[in-house]
Structure 1
């Protein structure tokens, strides 16, 4: 689930964070290990309980670093191979499955929502699969109908099971966008819930099963899973937190365990830095899709934007273009990008503490990891 409004706690309600140890493991050739570790430490200093990073590439080895702590109130280091909620990076997996179905048929990018999900979306006969993928469908985002942090109501629903049907109905009950489908970029988690339902209609199986059999198993992504309604993160993992308002104060609440059906096909995935690096390298490198569909995936839906069909492009200061995605799963945030030539992949994950916004520090570190 991306673009969830981040709540920045002011100095008057600043949240105490314990001292942050840091650790680094292994080293790729030509990597500025000290610079990468400093960048990771800067992320924690700018608004994270803990952060983990993996940089890899063809012939360059692997560098893994951690900073901060895995759990507030402890000195336990972030697990370098730990699992975390990957948020909207799930969308890139969903989009890959959709494009594989386009490659083999019977699905087409220009098929309408109405064809596959009749009566589900008002005006669905004018909205295409392509537009769902690149966020130009105009379908409202269901998140606008739900309480979000720091409201106490959000915490109260943490273990509630949400169905895609229920969330889609909440979304389409909102006033429709005035823009014609395909003309304006507007990020919508609802669009990917619809794509998950289309995958089920085309294959007879859930998007989670299709991701498992088409991507997770072939690539041996052993730390990656789609938990459905299971609230736990299996294996080593950092704790994640959300801010919750109580009277005039805001405190961090451990939100590690929660029912991920709230995010569904738009963001339920759990993964690791190593698995995401492997996935992005194989995807951008052409193993998972034929070239013409990969080109479609990398092409932004609206001129001047960076989001294609579930894949985001980013240009670094050194002129190297990378592709990937980022994800906000409330108590966890992640970024994963790879170069087209597979020479470098980088994934960063953190648990925000909401003292500040770590985005600038993350972007600087991504650039350093790619450019050296």
Structure 2
């Protein structure tokens, strides 16, 4: 196909409330540069990182949970560190999840890739940087999939062979790669694992990926969602206010943080591994160092991912080893409504977006 000159897209115009998200129909279609491909986006999804970036929650001036001002934004949040990697340039097209089709290629890319159905790896090292720790997130440091067209380095557009729908495939990239990254960092095997925030996009993904490795999964969720997470493979559930058993888990995969955080280390066994990739209940926690050193525990932060994380994930999809969990879907033009639904936290899995 010959791409049009303009496209429909959602622009994030700055940090703040939902009004910062503007649906436009006159946004120029990007052109693929050297080594890049142009993708016709078919579907995307909503993630915590989209909301956190919009509100400026990543700013160190913010100490509250991710929902405290998720509609209107956070007072005092600084533009200098409002995104997870620092300052962003606006307007920005968000959307870390992308399922689509390659419709054009830049210089140096095999033209035979045109027509491939692809998923975009949402997190990767920028080719232009000499810093081995530099990291770009699709939809944050560069424009993402809340648009009809997007560009990405060809190596990060990974071909996928699956009978799943575009909406279903778009539920995988961000949540499942975050989850797989946590699990690979933990070195999880057939062990006892506790998962917090287990009903969201990442939490529901972690359950499936942990069970794939033979783990015994205990999920912390609201009681009304116990049946659904059991269907995903959880062996046991605990309500959010339940007392956690002491020394009961080899690994804790935590997406919540907040005031109950000390109990997670008490629940972790001697030589247990704790991995975090989120703090929806608040980023500031209290640590008793005696628990950490007397139990020889390991604390691991998980953001950066080895390249194998995403290629492994696509393999799991193609072999049917994991399944999508889509709670609702909305047209891209209803992005504000979709984020409102996301913030109610009544869903299990992902809220997806149809791209026209």
Classify the TM-score, shorter chain: under 0.3
More strand by share: 2
The TM-score normalised by the length of structure 2 is 0.26
The TM-score normalised by the length of structure 1 is 0.26
